[in-house]
Amino acid sequence: MILVTGATGLVGSALVSRLSLGNLNIRAAIRRHDCQIPNGVGLTRVGDLNHDTDWSGALESVDVVVHLAARVHVMTDMASDPLTEFRLVNVAGTVNLARQAATIGVRRLIYVSSIGVNGNSTTLGQTFTADDEPHPHDPYSISKHEAEQGLHQLAAETGLEVVIIRPPLVYGPGAPGNFGRLVNILGKSLPLPLGSIHNKRSLVALDNLVDLIVTCINHPGAANQTFLVSDGEDLSTTELLHRIGNALGKPSRLIPVPISLLEMGAVLLGRRDVTQRLCGSLQVDITKTKELLGWTPPISVDEGMRRIVLCQSKTGATSP
């Protein structure tokens, strides 16, 4: 039996759909009952994720837990102490789940963390590796790092196998945030001042991340390891926008504005963080993932973009 937490999120729903195609017993942990889950998938409501969540019913007969539920980035966080709020869910909630899982005899827990544990940027041409010293930079990534530490300690104490996956930006049908907004803008053939950015960023298609998670469910080499994941092709922001435009069949109208002017405008608007994400580099090395697991990304960047467009055409959506 495989338990998936966060089963209604972007990654969770795609993972449950993928697992439901096989002859596997799957249980989806959800916060509320008004959720759509594929036929044949068991449901269990657990409520909010924190230090005293009762997982006993959800964990019954479970062999592997894939833990996706989390408090994620909140762009306009109104909490007076964001780090405390992140720790309540992402650290205390995760360790509580893992401790109960170990007690009941669960064999393996797969924890989807964040590349933010490594840091928020790399020098062009340099890459993060899974074994680098962590440098979390904000409340969210700090909480993810602390959760990883708690899981490692619990694994050493109990024998629970822990697998940690740190993805960079995940894109796919329904992806929220800046990626979705860029697809929407390009779909409308609106101009963007992003035609002269020469950074490099690693991304991961939703289907590639799901495939790695599935690989880690039973692979013996995954036990107690940390893996980075990407599509295996790093792109500049300008290249990425051209690829999205090609998938949409729309010309990407990119104006070559110097980065210095973009940075100046971002400072004036109080959005320096947006410029960093658009203009900065963040590259990951997935050599360990490929060699230890014999894994390669099953789809290319272009195929990942094509699937986004195909999903939009089927739903009639104008934006993901």
State the pLDDT confidence band at 180, using cuts at 50, 70 and 90. confident
C-beta separation of 26 from 63 below 8 A: no
pLDDT tier, 183 (very low <50, low <70, confident <90, very high otherwise) = confident
- Picking from 72-86, 90-104, 165-179, 247-261, which range would have the lowest pLDDT averaged per residue? 72-86
CA-based angle 9:14:17, to the nearest 5? 120
Q: What is the CA radius of gyration of the chain?
A: 20
Q: What CATH number labels 2-166?
A: 3.40.50.720
For residues 167, 99, 295, 304, the Cα torsion angle rounded to the nearest 10 degrees is: -40
Closest of 274, 230, 280 to residue 119, by C-alpha: 280
Q: Return the ∠ at Cα 14 (arms to 77 and 76), rounded to 5°.
A: 10
| Per-residue confidence band for 32, with pLDDT thresholds at 50, 70 and 90 | low
Mean pLDDT score across all residues of the chain: 89
Side-chain-side CA neighbours of 242 within 13 Å: the count stands at 9
The model's pTM is 0.92
The per-residue pLDDT for 320 is: 33
pLDDT at 316 (0 to 100): 53
Q: What percent of the chain has pLDDT over 90?
A: 63
pLDDT of residue 74: 60
Q: Which residues does the annotation mark as catalytic?
A: 140
User: What is the tens place of the pLDDT at every residue in 48-96?
Assistant: 888 999 999 999 999 999 999 999 866 555 677 889 999 999 999 999 9
Other Cβ atoms within 10 Å of 221 Cβ, number: 13
pLDDT in tens, 101-139: 999 999 999 999 999 999 999 998 899 999 999 999 999
Pairing label, strands 108-112, 225-228? unpaired
